[in-house]
Structure 1
Amino acid sequence: MNRKLLPVLLAAAFLSACDSNETEIQQWMAQERAATKPNIQPIPEPKKFSPQVYQQEAQMEPFSNQKLTVALKRDAQQAGSASAALLAPELSRRKEPLEAYPLDAMVMVGSLMKGGQPVALVKVDNLLYQVKPGNYLGQNYGKITKVAESEVVLRELVQDAAGEWVERTATLQLQEKSK
């Protein structure tokens, strides 16, 4: 029975010793807090603002639209005037009747072979038109490059943000009539 009581007595002795050490630590921490003073750096004085006179008024403003336009034209000329001329629309040619309508107003309703050449049937405003490769469609200078059973593929020329002509491909899909 003595052996079982001995560990309990030792534990109680340690706990009572910890309690006295804890109060000593608390007192030491309070003394250190009171003795320590924070080291705060003062905020530096703000620098004095001295305005300067703008002396470049007679020259062109660096962010003006005029300067941007001149730079874009110069870049376009350096990019190659030959390639730019290849992508310009043919403004002098006579427009075909289907160029008056946007592509989304047209419906491909069928295709057939005529003289060994594929022909698509396009419906606009309840009128039926026959179109073949080489014809023009839509309001973006779209030239038909291919007529298949289920679609008409065309090459359109549109202007990008810089005013240059860019080529894009558009398709007119066969619309099957739903009953």
Structure 2
Amino acid sequence: MKHYALLISFLALSACSQGSEDLNEWMAQTQRKAKAEIIPFQAPTLPVAPVYNPPQPTGFNAFDFRRMETVKKGGNAPDTNRVKETLEKFSLENMRYVGILKSKQKVSGFIEVEGYVYTVGVGNYLGQNYGKIQSITENSIILNELIEDSTGNWVSRKAELPLQPSDKNTDTEQTAASANEQN
């Protein structure tokens, strides 16, 4: 029985080997076709763009740097070598003009800052923008401030510190008025 099993296996193996010739021939033919010649890459040709010549500008050019350079930088600058006064440490928003004193030809103003009262006159400096007092009136102190602009020049502007009544006086007046109403 061993011989029959061996004979059947041999016949089965020999039958399988006969059909593989067609397969091998088909594989060889497919490989020959697959190795076809590769066409080399050609770069595309692009049309040449026309040259654009913009028109010449006429009139004022806001971005012309030559125009900006003709202006002298630092013009009208404040004197930075002088000794600063006490009230130049504070901004005008923190100051209150609370009174005026006239004696003969001299006029003095009283300014309250952080609970202290300072005496000022024409020509004194106030605020952080180099403000110089031009005049002192009963209603306000007029000063001339110097502000630096974007080109480095100093521009003069007027500022006013109006007279403000003291909080203590208004409280006393209100208390006296309410006491009179009750009587």
**The TM-score by the shorter chain falls in which range?**
0.5 to 0.7
CA distance in 2, matches of 1:49, 1:150: 76
Which of 124, 131, 146 is 2:135 aligned to?
Answer: 146
CA distance in 2, matches of 1:128, 1:114: 19
- Partner residue, 2:78: 89
Shift, 1:51, TM fit? 8.0
CA distance in 1, matches of 2:83, 2:106: 23
- Partner residue, 1:50: 49
Shift, 1:176, TM fit? 1.9
Secondary structure in structure 1 of the residue aligned to 2:88: helix
CA distance in 2, matches of 1:132, 1:113: 11
CA distance in 1, matches of 2:154, 2:48: 50
Secondary structure in structure 2 of the residue aligned to 1:123: strand
- Residues 49 and 99 (structure 1 numbering): CA distance in 2 closer, same or farther, change over 3 Å? farther
Gaps of 5+ in 2: 1-46, 52-62, 172-183
Gaps of 5+ in 1: 1-47, 53-64
2:100 counterpart of 1:101: no
Identity rate, percent: 36
Aligned length: 114
Q: Which amino acid aligns with 1:75?
A: T
| 1:53-94 deviations in Å (ceiling 9; x for gaps) | xxxxxxxxxxxx9x84x652x3213xxx8xx65x21000000
CA distance in 1, matches of 2:87, 2:48: 67
- Partner residue, 1:76: 71
Q: Scaled by the length of structure 2, what TM-score is found?
A: 0.54
CA distance in 2, matches of 1:114, 1:102: 28
Which of 147, 151, 155 is 1:158 aligned to?
Answer: 147
CA distance in 2, matches of 1:49, 1:88: 57
- Residues 104 and 49 (structure 1 numbering): CA distance in 2 closer, same or farther, change over 3 Å? farther
Moved over 6 A (4+): none
Q: Scaled by the length of structure 1, what TM-score is found?
A: 0.56
CA distance in 1, matches of 2:89, 2:148: 18
Secondary structure in structure 2 of the residue aligned to 1:130: strand
CA distance in 1, matches of 2:118, 2:96: 10
Quote the RMSD (CA, aligned, Å).
2.9
Secondary structure in structure 2 of the residue aligned to 1:110: strand
Correspondence 1:1-179 to 2 at 5 A: 50=49, 68=65, 72=68, 74-77=69-72, 85=75, 87-114=76-103, 116-177=105-166, 178-179=170-171
| 1:124-176 deviations in Å (ceiling 9; x for gaps) | 00000000001000000000010111110000000112221100000100012
**Structure whose CA Rg is larger:** 2
Q: Which amino acid aligns with 1:128?
A: V
- Residues 50 and 172 (structure 1 numbering): CA distance in 2 closer, same or farther, change over 3 Å? same
| 1:86-120 deviations in Å (ceiling 9; x for gaps) | x2100000000000000000000011114531111
